[in-house]
Amino acid sequence: MDLAFSDDDLAFREEVRSFIAEKLPADIAESVRQGRPVDKPDIQRWQRILFNQGWAAPGWPVEYGGTGWDATRRYIFDEVMAEFDTPETVPFGLLMVGPLIYTFGTEAQKERFLPKILTGEEWWCQGYSEPGSGSDLASLQTKAVLDGDHYVVNGTKTWNSMAHLADWTFTLVRTSNEGKQQEGISFLLIDMETPGIDPQPIIAIDGAHHFNMTYYTDVRVPVENRIGEENKGWTYAKYLLGHERQSISEVGASKQRLRRLKQIAGEERSDGESLMDDKSFANKVADVEVKLTSHEYLNLRFLAEEAAGRPIGAEVSLLKIRGTEIRQELTELTIEALGYYAAPFEMEQLSDGWNEPSIGPDYAAAQMPQYLFSRAATIYGGSNEIQRNIIAKMVLGL
Amino acid sequence: MDFSLSEEQQLLKDSVQRFVRDEYELESRRKLVASDIGYSEDNWAKMAELGWLALPLPEEYGGIGGGAVETMVLMEEFGRGLVVEPYMSSIVIGGGFLMAGGSKEQKTELLPKLAAGEMKLAFAYAERQSRFDLNDVECKAEKNGDGYSLSGHKGVVFHAATADKIIVSARTSGGSRDADGITLFLIDNNSAGLSRRDYPTVDGLRASELEMDGVAGTPLGEVGGGAALMEEVVGQAIAAICAEAVGCMDVLQETTNEYLKTRVQFGVPLSKFQVLQHRMVDMFMECEQARSMCYMVNLKIGDEDATERAKAVSAAKVQIGNSGRYVGQQSVQLHGGMGMTDELHVGHYFKRLTMIDTMFGNKDHHLKRYADL
Amino acid sequence: MDMQFRDEDLAFQAEVRQFIAENLPADLREKVRRGLHLDKEDFVFWQKKLNERGWFAPHWPVQLGGVEWSPTQHYLFQNEQVEGYCPPVIPFGVRMVAPVIFTFGSDEQKQRFLPDILDSTAWWCQGYSEPGSGSDLASLQTKAVRDGDDYIVNGTKTWTTLAQFADWIFCLVRTSGEGKPQEGISFLLIDMKSPGIEVTPIITIDGSHEVNSVFFTDVRVPAENLIGVENEGWTYAKFLLLFERSNSLTGGLKQQLHRLRTIADQECTNGAPLSSDPAFAAQLADYEVQLRTYEFLELRTLGNSNPGAEASYLKIIGTDLQQLASELTLRAVGYYGNPYIRDALVHGYNQPSVGPDYAAPAAPQYFNYRKTAIYAGSNEIQRNILSKAVLGM
Ligand SMILES: Cc1cc2nc3c(=O)[nH]c(=O)nc-3n(C[C@H](O)[C@H](O)[C@H](O)COP(=O)(O)OP(=O)(O)OC[C@H]3O[C@@H](n4cnc5c(N)ncnc54)[C@H](O)[C@@H]3O)c2cc1C
Ligand SMILES: Cc1cc2nc3c(=O)[nH]c(=O)nc-3n(C[C@H](O)[C@H](O)[C@H](O)COP(=O)(O)OP(=O)(O)OC[C@H]3O[C@@H](n4cnc5c(N)ncnc54)[C@H](O)[C@@H]3O)c2cc1C
C-alpha cells in the first residue's frame, strides 16, 4: 500500500501544471471562476488546445487518439485540471458515445465519428429518456422501423441536454416488442440535421435553457448508423451507464467548488469578521471537506483496482451517489455564504459581454443558478434512488 | 498509488483472522470481559509469540519494524473480533512514545520487554477539566533531586491496572492550557503516592482514575516538549483506532445484511422492503467511506508536513465518528428487539463504535480542529 | 386560534406543582433526576400517592375514577409530572389494559380488575410480541385452545417489559387458524401466577433488566378472562395501540434538555463551560428549536378526536428527539461516558462517583434509548402507516 507518486508521475504533474498555466485562456478561466456558463465556442476553443497537445481524451486508448495514461496519470491530470479554473468536460461525446463507438462500433463508424469528437468539432447529445420512461428506461416507446436500408424513427425524447447545440444524438429506440422489454431496444446514432427532428427548449429551474424535448417524425436514419446488433442496444447502454457513473464522481469539480466556497466565505462578513472565521460556518465547510476527502479516496481505491486490472462492479454507483450529494451540499453552502445576495436574479448578468457593474459582489450572480441546477445531479444519470436499488441488488444481494 | 496488501501483510491479516476466529467467539469474549483483569494473559502471550507485540517496534530493539499499514491490518481484525487485550494502550501508544521520545537507555531497557510481552504500558492524559485537549494539563511535576515528583489527577486511563508502567503527561512549566511546558513521565504502577480506582468501561474494557501525590517519575522525551510528542503518537493511535472501527463497522454491516435476508415478517424477508434496502446501502456507503479514510490516514501518518498529517488525522476521525454512529445505530434499529439484547453481538459492536468516537477527541472536537488547521 | 393557557389552566398547573412539591420525597425525586434505576416500590409509592389525590387515572370515565379534565389539563398534568421528576406511571395497567377493559370488558371484569389497577395492587404487563412476530404482530402463534371453561395457552411471548414484577399479563393469542391472520386472535387476561408460566430475563445492551421472555406451557386460563368476543382480539389491540402511542413526550424531552444543559454548564472545554463552546451551543440550540417545534405540534393536536395519524408522527419525531438528547448528553460527558459501574446506577451506591456524578447514566441511557424507535410500532412501521393512511400511498 502506498500513496506515493513516482518521480515520473511527479514530473508529469508539473508538466500538466505548466501547460495549463500557460495555455488556459484567461477569459475562460474567469467565467469558470465566477461560475458563469461557458459557451460552446469557448469550450471548443479549450478542447482544441487540449487536442493539439494530444490530451483531448485522457481515458481513450492511444490507437483512437487517446493518451493511454494509466489510472494514476488520469487522476493527476483531473486533479491539476481542478486546481485551475478549467471548464468541465462536456460528457456526451468524450465520455459517453466515444468509448461506446470504439468499443462496439464498426471501423467505418470509428473513422467517421471519433476524430471529430476529439477535436470538439461535433457535439453530441443523449437521447434516452422519454416522457413516460425515466427511471424505467427500458419501457421506452420511440419506434424505429426498418424500411430498406433506413430506420424510420417516430417518438419523443425528453430532457436532452444540449440537444439545441448538438450535431448528433445517440438514442435508444424500440425495434421489437417481443420478449422482455430490454430485448427489443437498439442503439442509433442520428444526425440532428435530419428532417423530422424538432428539439424544443425546456427551461430549467435556474432559468436557463439546458435541455430539450425532441420530437421525431418519420426521421430516416441509415442502418449503418446502428451500433452493434439490432435489439442489443440495452447491453451497450448499460455499459455506457457504468462509464457515466464513474465520470460523475466529480471529485475535481467539487474541489473547484470547495475552493470557490472558501473564497466567497472568506470575503463575506459576519459579525464584523470574515465568514470563514465564524466557527459554526467553518465547521460546516470542514464537514463537507471531510466528506469530499473520503469520497476522493474511495474514488482512488476504485481507480487503483481498475489499474490493477480488476474491474469494478456495481459499487461504482457509490461514487455517483456521494459525488452528487457532495456537489449539492457545496452549492447549498455557497448560497448560505452569500446571505441576501443569493437572491438577485438577472439572467443577463451571466451572459458574455455583460458590462454593467454587478449587483452585490461579482461572484454572487452565478451561485443561485448553480445551486438550483445542482438539484438535477441526484436525478440524472440514474437517480440516486435507482443507484441505491442497484447496489442493494448487485452488491448486497438484497 | 496502490491500496492492495503485500504478501506479508496478507499473511499477517490471515493469522490475526485465525486468532480472532479461534479465540474470540462472543462467549469467550464475554468471559474475558467479566474476568478479573478483563482480558487474557494467555492471549497476550500468544500475541507475543506470534510477533504482534513486536510488530510496530524497531528491529534493533527486538521489534519487527512494521509500519502504520501493518498496524492497521492488525487493528482492523482486532476490531472485527472486539479484542479486549491492551494492544492499543501498551503497544501502539506505549511503544509509540518510547520510539518517538525514549532515550537510548529507555529504549534498550523497555522496548525488548514490550515486544516480548514482559511489560505493559498505559497512557494517562485526560483530566477532569481537559476534555479532549491533550495540552490542557494541570497535573504538576516538580524537580526533586535527580528526578521529578508528580501530583494531580488523571481520569479514564485505559488499562492502567494491568500496566507495569504508566506514561503520564504533567506540567513542568507554563499555564494550564499552554502547549509549552508539558513533559511526559514514566511512573511505576506500584509507586508510593499513587492510588488507583479501577473500573470497567461500557464497551467492555478497563480503565482507572489515578490520584498522584508526589509520585516519582522519569522524563520520557524532552522536558517541556511533551505536546509535540503527544501529537505525534496520538495521531498514530487515531490512525490505528480508525482501523479498529472499520473492522467493527464491517461486521455490523455484514451481520445486518444477513439478518435482513433471513428475518421474515409479513410473509417476506425484511430485505424485500425498499426502505431497509436503502438503509443498508447507506450503511454500506458509510463503511466504504470509513475504509477509504482509514487507508488515507494510515498512508499519510508518516507525512513530513505536520499540518498535512494533522489534517489527515482529524478528517479521518470525523469520518469514523460519523460512519460509526450511523452504522451502529442503524444496525441496532434494523435488528429490532434483537438489536437491543446483550446476547447478540450487535450491541457490543455498537457500544465499542460509540466509545471509539470519544477516544482522543470526538467528531465535534476533530471537526473544529480540522477547520482551524 | 389562541396560544395562551387560560387562567384556570394556570391555576390547575399551580395546583399540580404544589401537589408534587408536597408529596414527592426528595430522595425519590433525586433518583429520577439523576436517571438512576427505580424499584417497583418507587413506582407503586408514587402511583398510590396520585391515586389518593384522585389523579392516577385521569383519562378514565369519571364514574370509574377518572377526572373531567380538558385536553389541555391532561397535557399540563403529564408534563408537570415529568418536569417535577416524578417517577413515570407504568402504563400497562392504567393506560393500556384498563381502557380495553372498561370499553370492551364485561361488568364482572370491570369490577374485578379496575380497582386493583387504580390502587396499584395489580401490576400488569403486555404480552403481544413473539420471537417470530414483531412488526408483523398479526402473525402471532401463541395458541389458546378451549377446554371446558378454560383456555389452554401454549407459546412464547417476548420483549415483555417488566414482566418480572407483573401480577397479570394481557395477551394476544391465536384462537383460530382460519381466515386472515387478524381474524383468529383473541385478547386474554392471564394471572402470572398460573402454573406453566415461566419468566426469564433478557438483558439489554445497556446492561439493564427491563424486558423478558414469557413461556406458556399448558397454562389454564378461565374463559371468563377473555375480553369481548373470541377472535375479535385484534380490534381491541388496535384500539389499545393508539393509547400506547399517544403519550405526551414533551415533558420528558424538556427534562432531558434540562439535564443536558446542566451538564454542559459544568463540563469544561478550553477553560470555559462546554455550553459556551460555539459548536456545542449551536447543537444545543438546534435541539431546543426542534423540541419547541415538537411541543407545538403536540399542542396543536391536543383534543383531536382521531389521534391516529398524529400519534404516528408524534411518535417518530418524539423518539428521534429522545435519542438525540441522549446522544448529546453522552457526548457532553466526554471521557466520563466510558466508566460503567452497574451499582453506580442504583440508589444507595455510596462510593464517590467516577468523574462527575451526572456522568454514570449517560452511556446506558443512550444505549437504552435506541429502543424507542423500535418499540410501540417501530418508526419504520409508523412511516408505513402514515404513507398509507395520510398520504394515501
Ligand atoms: C438536468 C437534467 C439533464 C438530463 N439530461 C438528459 C439527457 O441528456 N439525455 C437523457 O436521455 N436524459 C436526460 N435526463 C433525464 C434523466 O435521465 C431522467 O430525469 C432520470 O432518468 C429520471 O427519470 P424521470 O425524470 O422520468 O423521473 P422518474 O423516473 O419519474 O422518477 C421520479 C422520482 O422517483 C424515483 N424513483 C423512480 N423509480 C424508483 C424506484 N424503482 N425506486 C425508488 N425510487 C424510484 C426517482 O429516483 C425520482 O426521485 C436529464 C435530466 C435532468 C434533470
Ligand atoms: C425495550 C423494548 C421493550 C418492549 N416491550 C414490549 C412489551 O412490553 N410487550 C410487547 O408485546 N412487546 C414489547 N416490545 C416489542 C416491540 O413491540 C417489538 O420489538 C417491535 O414490534 C419490533 O418487532 P421486532 O423486534 O420483532 O423487529 P422486526 O419486526 O423483526 O423488525 C426489524 C426491523 O425491520 C423493520 N421493519 C419490519 N417490518 C417492516 C416493514 N414492513 N417496512 C419497513 N421496515 C420494517 C423494523 O422497523 C425494524 O427496524 C418491546 C421492545 C423493546 C425493544
For the segment C138-164, the average pLDDT, to the nearest whole number, is 98
The pLDDT, as a whole number, for residue C347 is 76
Cβ of C158 below 6 Å from ligand 2: no
Same domain, C20 and C63: yes
Question: Residue A213: CB partners within 8 Å, gap ≥ 6?
Answer: A131, A156, A157, A158, A159, A160, A199, A200, A202
Catalytic residue check, A244: yes
Q: Which of A288, A294, A321 to mutate to test the interface with B (most CBs of B within 10 A)?
A: A294
**Domain map (residue ranges) of chain A:** 7-89, 124-232, 248-395
CATH 3.90.1300.10 fits domain A124-232: no
Annotated catalytic residue, options A130, A244, A250, A296: A244
Cβ of B341 below 6 Å from ligand 2: no
Each residue's pLDDT tens digit, B288-337: 999 999 999 999 999 889 999 999 999 999 999 999 999 999 999 999 99
Nearest residue on chain A to C283, alpha-carbon basis: A280
Distance between CA atoms of C6 and B344, rounded to whole angstroms?
A: 52
CB proximity A355 to B under 8 Å: no
User: What distance in angstroms lies between residue A376's CA and the mean position of ligand 1's atoms?
Assistant: 9
Same domain, C151 and C82: no
Rounded to the nearest angstrom, the minimum Cα separation between A16 and chain B is: 19
Same domain, C195 and C270: no
Choose the closest CB to B199 out of C341, C364, C374.
C341
Same domain, C260 and C366: yes
Rounded to the nearest angstrom, the minimum Cα separation between B3 and chain C is: 34
Closest ligand by atom to A385 CA: 1
For the segment C275-287, the average pLDDT, to the nearest whole number, is 94
Closest ligand by atom to B260 CA: 2
Question: Residue C42: CB partners within 8 Å, gap ≥ 6?
Answer: C28, C31, C87
The pLDDT, as a whole number, for residue A219 is 98
The pLDDT, as a whole number, for residue A271 is 87
Closest ligand by atom to A241 CA: 1
Instruction: Answer yes or no: are the C-beta atoms of C353 and C359 closer than 8 Å.
Output: yes
The pLDDT, as a whole number, for residue C298 is 87
Structural domains counted in chain C: 3
Nearest residue on chain B to A385, alpha-carbon basis: B278
Q: Atom 37 of ligand 2 has which residue's CA nearest to it?
A: C135
User: Strand B165-171 vs strand B121-124: parallel, antiparallel, or unpaired?
Assistant: parallel
How do the residues of chain A divide into helix, strand and coil, expressed in percent and rounded to 5?
55, 15, 30
The pLDDT, as a whole number, for residue C282 is 92
Residue B179 amino acid letter: A
Assign domain B7-115 to a CATH class.
mainly alpha
Do A248-395 and A124-232 have the same topology in CATH? no
- Return the best residue to mutate from C370, C378, C380, C386 for the ligand 2 pocket (most ligand atoms within 8 A of CB): C378
- Chain B residues inside the 8 Å CB shell of C201: none
Q: Atom 35 of ligand 1 has which residue's CA nearest to it?
A: A385
Q: In chain B, positions 230-289, which contact chain A (CB-CB < 8 Å)?
A: 257, 260-261, 271-272, 274, 276-278, 280-282, 284-285, 288-289
- Say if pTM beats, i.e. exceeds, 0.90: yes
The pLDDT, as a whole number, for residue B327 is 98
Q: Atom 23 of ligand 2 has which residue's CA nearest to it?
A: C134
Q: Atom 53 of ligand 1 has which residue's CA nearest to it?
A: A376
Assign domain B121-224 to a CATH class.
mainly beta
Domain boundary among C179, C197, C231: C231
User: Strand A209-222 vs strand A197-203: parallel, antiparallel, or unpaired?
Assistant: antiparallel
Each residue's pLDDT tens digit, A42-101: 999 999 999 999 999 998 999 999 998 987 888 899 989 999 999 999 999 999 999 999
Q: Is C38 part of a structural domain of the chain?
A: yes
Q: Is C117 part of a structural domain of the chain?
A: no
Same domain, C359 and C275: yes
Q: Which of C205, C329, C343, C368 to mutate to test the interface with B (most CBs of B within 10 A)?
A: C205
The pLDDT, as a whole number, for residue C306 is 59
With contact defined as 3+ CB pairs under 8 Å, the chains touching C are A, B
Q: Is C296 part of a structural domain of the chain?
A: yes
Reported as a pLDDT band with limits 50, 70 and 90, residue C79 is confident
What is the residue-averaged pLDDT of chain C? 93
Choose the closest CB to C370 out of B203, B332, B355.
B332
Q: Under CATH, what is the fold of the domain B228-372?
A: Butyryl-CoA Dehydrogenase, subunit A; domain 3 (1.20.140)
Judge whether residue C243 has pLDDT over 80.
no
For the segment B125-129, the average pLDDT, to the nearest whole number, is 96
**Domain map (residue ranges) of chain B:** 7-115, 121-224, 228-372
The pLDDT, as a whole number, for residue B269 is 98
The pLDDT, as a whole number, for residue A242 is 67
Kindly determine whether residue C355 and residue B368, on different chains, have CB atoms separated by under 8 Å: no
Reported as a pLDDT band with limits 50, 70 and 90, residue C3 is low
The pLDDT, as a whole number, for residue A72 is 83
Each residue's pLDDT tens digit, C295-350: 998 888 876 655 677 888 999 999 999 999 999 999 999 999 999 998 888 877 88
CATH number of the domain that C220 lies in? 2.40.110.10
Over pLDDT 90: what percentage of chain C?
Answer: 80
Which class for C148: exposed (0-12), middle (13-18), buried (19 or more C-beta within 10 A)? Answer: exposed
Question: Residue B4: CB partners within 8 Å, gap ≥ 6?
Answer: A1, A304, A308
The mean pLDDT values, 10 residues at a time, for chain A of 398 residues are: 86 97 96 89 97 95 93 88 93 94 97 97 97 97 97 98 97 96 97 98 94 98 98 92 70 93 95 92 96 95 85 89 96 96 85 80 91 95 95 96
The pLDDT, as a whole number, for residue B261 is 97
Cell of A49: 488546445
Kindly determine whether residue A303 and residue B6, on different chains, have CB atoms separated by under 8 Å: no
The pLDDT, as a whole number, for residue A305 is 86
Handedness of CA C177, C181, C183, C185 (dihedral sign): positive
- Chain B residues inside the 8 Å CB shell of A294: 289-290, 292-293, 296, 315, 319
Annotated catalytic residue, options C80, C130, C244, C267: C244
Q: Is C313 part of a structural domain of the chain?
A: yes
User: What distance in angstroms lies between residue C40's CA and the mean position of ligand 1's atoms?
Assistant: 57
CATH 1.20.140.10 fits domain A248-395: yes
User: What distance in angstroms lies between residue C361's CA and the mean position of ligand 1's atoms?
Assistant: 48
For the segment C35-48, the average pLDDT, to the nearest whole number, is 93
Q: Is C105 part of a structural domain of the chain?
A: no
User: What distance in angstroms lies between residue B136's CA and the mean position of ligand 2's atoms?
Assistant: 45
Same domain, C355 and C259: yes
Q: How far is CA B368 from the centre of its chain?
A: 21
> What's the Cα-to-Cα distance from C165 to each of C124, C207, C209, rounded to whole Å?
8, 18, 11
Same domain, C266 and C226: no
The pLDDT, as a whole number, for residue C303 is 66
Cβ of B192 below 6 Å from ligand 2: no
User: Strand B182-188 vs strand B165-171: parallel, antiparallel, or unpaired?
Assistant: antiparallel
Judge whether residue C279 has pLDDT over 60.
yes
With contact defined as 3+ CB pairs under 8 Å, the chains touching A are B, C
Query: H helices of A268-348, where?
Result: 279-307, 317-338
Choose the closest CB to B299 out of A3, A289, A290.
A3
The pLDDT, as a whole number, for residue C75 is 87
Range of the domain at C352: 246-389
Each residue's pLDDT tens digit, B180-205: 999 999 999 999 999 999 999 999 99
The pLDDT, as a whole number, for residue C345 is 84
Cβ of A211 below 6 Å from ligand 1: yes
The pLDDT, as a whole number, for residue C275 is 96
Of B298, B343, B349, which is closest to residue B323 (Cα–Cα)?
Answer: B349
ipTM of the modeled complex? 0.93
Query: H helices of C84-226, where?
Result: 91, 98-104, 107-118
The pLDDT, as a whole number, for residue A229 is 97
The pLDDT, as a whole number, for residue B276 is 98
